[in-house]
Structure 1
């Protein structure tokens, strides 16, 4: 890299996606700068659902226990009838955790608390976001990007290897790259506000006038706080008075409840629901991710989760290229993540239509994001071909309880945790694979360091004697090869920058 670089990567936008990318780069010792034009961290609860797949990501990044501690589980939804009676029902299907899927409950953490936890983790790694710093212009060439940043200290010019725009739905980076952002306005305008109130308990997500887009009003207790999130569709035109007195009267008119008194409004927004997907995620050395690349209606809780996983996909690839891998690796970011966003846009829009037509807010497994993967990616290698009923390259790598040869219990996810690749050999010759940088090798079988005493690894991965499973740094299976195909595995590792 050019010795004149201020940093290897500039990240514009310090929300959940930008913070996730920063943490991933920090633990890989990649020099970066994280900036945000806001003078201080975002104060609202906009994205509050953390899906099971994102919980797995946050375990890898070292923050899942903190997020559970500051948040909580979703309450049942309480649907009020016109006569004042109500019925409680679960918002989503309830499932017990399994050995291969340790997180099966959707977690509720208001976005400002999620981002606070991520900033704390970033601080532990020796970094922090720079607020009040706005990216005002940039130019790129074959060797890097020159970025102009304005702050209270004046304008600063940074020379970086790569620029990543995680700067929201109105992304400056996307606009500057002239990337099209096609999609549709969904004909729904809504209000969302964080409020303190009297008259409702925190034991349920209170929903009034279900099925009526003119009067539907809901109050969701925000776990980890003493606040509720007010959500309601509103007319496409007109202003909303967000003062506590005006909102109290507005709520009474819509619900018929005069005992609900809003005492304080901490954050509020009126917005048009959109479903949009950027035509491209990369132009040269500049990338976009998160809401800059895709915006969803809030139904199903897909937006923040898809954004976090964008960053988790891009981080290891940027680090690998900076450390010498082929730049071709960076093209797989768009190749893998854009189809996922398209699928999530379709799901969110479908759930919105169900909510509009039937008042149905229930959510199933499709919102968990555990079944998403990259089976058609150029980074997915099955050799020889495998039965589609089995775990394939490109699939999410399942968890499994195992025991170390010294007797201590552990899990595959603990072996995967960190910025490295992991290679698991099942009843193989350990010496067949030479050590490589950033590759952790474990074997199961004679003289293996891992004992699969319950057969959980065998069952979860569908492996037989002589099989090797390569797990990427982002927890997806990169390759499954037999011992007779180790030349293909070696070529794969060379291609992603894992040097012998």
Structure 2
């Protein structure tokens, strides 16, 4: 009787997050540092064990910088090795997967970082606990979800009930939440051929290159073996174009490696994780239903080519986190949450198309895959009040660049859950009085590439408002955040 009473007493939280992948954990970290209660529930018994989303793009590295985990990510990961093309057991030619770029003052993270997805999740989970966020409830899947005008009620697979103001579906491409909401997923098959993805141990293979093997004469597809930094593992990817299906067992993986490379079956000593993957591109018809939001793979499913899926997902969470925090903690208008779909759906669509083109060989991995050029110029949250700007000028809606500032960096000033008003060559007397907790003001006499003026930087690192002086700033804050 007592046990039933416990189960019938709802767990109370501000935000229910369904899924403890990179999306859910990023959102939980962002909410925790804002003092917003979140409960993460995960159907599996533990964090995801595979390396699947292993490419961390520069823009996501900037997100990790803001969340306080970039040092841990850089220590655990490493640069992508140069590709090595093999044929008939001999090295043939180098192949560079990415256009080489160097860090600059405004973009300190220039190249993708290889980091196994399981390690990324470990780092995020450790940060969540460090921030005082709740423990993830493992082994707790979602059985039912209903909502009303005041909140969301969820029933978990272990019989418990959760009551929250809002819920976020971060439970992957086969999202239970999305299905429960009746939201459709529109997409296409990117490649009809299945792909085996596995984390393997091959001690006999050097870790200096990303090893690539061309399709065989027998009709089998490509095979690649990429060393995973900070581990003894390789990520194996093998395409099956001959009509056969991937065998994810140790023997199955060994046979594929022996048939398509110079390695023997016995040189594959271990398979630590394996998946039979069908490349697909799809996007949810909408990203919100009342008090429930879709994020990550629950909202959009990518081909792994170009490394956009995990990165787009993390940035969904980064966009939604500050808005939920503003509404729940700072009494911002609830309409602010409407801008999540407004801003993220077009970005997800853009990255979905990019991933598909790269998979089909129609576009090379380059500046677009680094995601530094994404922004929200057309958002209803964006206001550019300056006139006569040059075509290449930094504008409201753009990513707020880094740069030297006060003996440190602008990213140091931006870091945290607050807004930042950057005043460049503007007299202090011209600045309005602002809530110092919500908006931090920083003044400087010169700051390239911003130029002279005022720049309101959102908590997620995009310029919300820009002006030559403060005219219109307080009106913008009142409309978007309810600040008078």
Normalized against structure 2, the TM-score is what? 0.93
Supply the distance in 2 between the matched residues of 1:395 and 1:236 (Cα, whole angstroms): 46
> Cα deviation per residue 1:153-185 (whole Å; 9 max; x = unaligned)?
xx1111110000000000011111111100101
Measure how far apart 1:96 and its partner are.
1.4
- Does residue 442 of structure 1 match 2:442? yes
**Runs of 5+ consecutive residues of structure 1 not aligned to the other structure:** 404-408, 446-451
How many Å apart are 1:373 and its aligned residue? 0.6
Give distance in 1, aligned partners of 2:422 and 2:305. Answer: 38
Q: Which of 26, 39, 49 lines up with 1:43 in the alignment?
A: 49
Match of 1:179 in 2: 183
The residue aligned with 2:6 is none
User: What do the CA deviations read for 1:292-326 (whole angstroms, capped 9, x no partner)?
Assistant: 00000000000000000000000000111113111
- Quick one: distance in 2 between partners of 1:100 and 1:72? 21
CA-CA distance at 1:492 after TM superposition = 1.3
8 Å contact from structure 1 (residues 79, 210) kept in 2: no
Paired with 2:241 and 2:98, the residues of 1 have a C-alpha distance of: 29
Q: Is the 8 A contact 2:82 2:96 kept in 1?
A: yes
CA RMSD of aligned residues (A): 1.9
Out of 379, 396, 400, the residue aligned to residue 397 of structure 1 is 400
Q: Which residue of 2 aligns with 1:370?
A: 372
Structure 2: unaligned runs, 5 residues or longer: 1-9
The structural deviation recorded for 1:366 is 1.3
Shift of 1:271: 1.5
CA shift digits 1:223-274 (9 cap, x unpaired) = 1110111101114855433333332222222235437721111100012110
Answer whether contact 2:196 2:239 (CA < 8 A) is retained: yes
Note the 1:339-418 alignment, pairs <5 A: 339-354=346-361, 363-385=365-387, 386-403=389-406, 409-418=407-416
What aligned pairs does 1:68-83 form with structure 2 within 5 A after superposition? 68-82=74-88
Between 13-22 and 80-89, report the one with greater CA deviation.
80-89
Q: How do residues 13-412 of structure 1 correspond to structure 2 at under 5 angstroms?
A: 13-82=19-88, 84-127=90-133, 128-151=135-158, 155-186=159-190, 187-209=192-214, 214-235=220-241, 238-258=244-264, 261-323=267-329, 324-354=331-361, 363-385=365-387, 386-403=389-406, 409-412=407-410
Does the 8 Å CA contact 2:43/2:141 hold for their aligned counterparts? yes
Distance 1:211 1:411, change over 3 A: farther
Q: CA deviation at 1:188?
A: 2.8
2:400 aligns to what SS in structure 1? coil
* Structure 2 Cα separation of the partners of residues 366 and 237 of structure 1: 34
In structure 2, the residue corresponding to 1:394 is in which secondary structure? coil
Q: Residues 5 and 393 (structure 1 numbering): CA distance in 2 closer, same or farther, change over 3 Å?
A: farther
Aligned length: 468
Does residue 427 of structure 2 align to residue 429 of structure 1? yes
Structure 1 length-normalised TM: 0.90
The equivalent residue for 2:4 is: none
Q: Could you say if the C-alpha distance between residues 373 and 210 of structure 1 is closer, same or farther in structure 2, counting changes exceeding 3 Å?
A: farther
CA contact (8 A) 1:189 1:236 kept: no
After TM superposition, the runs of 4+ consecutive aligned structure 1 residues lying more than 4 A away are: 210-213, 235-239
**Matched-pair contact (CA < 8 Å) for 2:89–2:262:** no
Asked whether the 8 Å contact 2:155–2:162 carries over to 1, the reply is yes
Counterpart of 2:466 in 1: which secondary structure? Answer: strand
SS at match of 1:147: strand
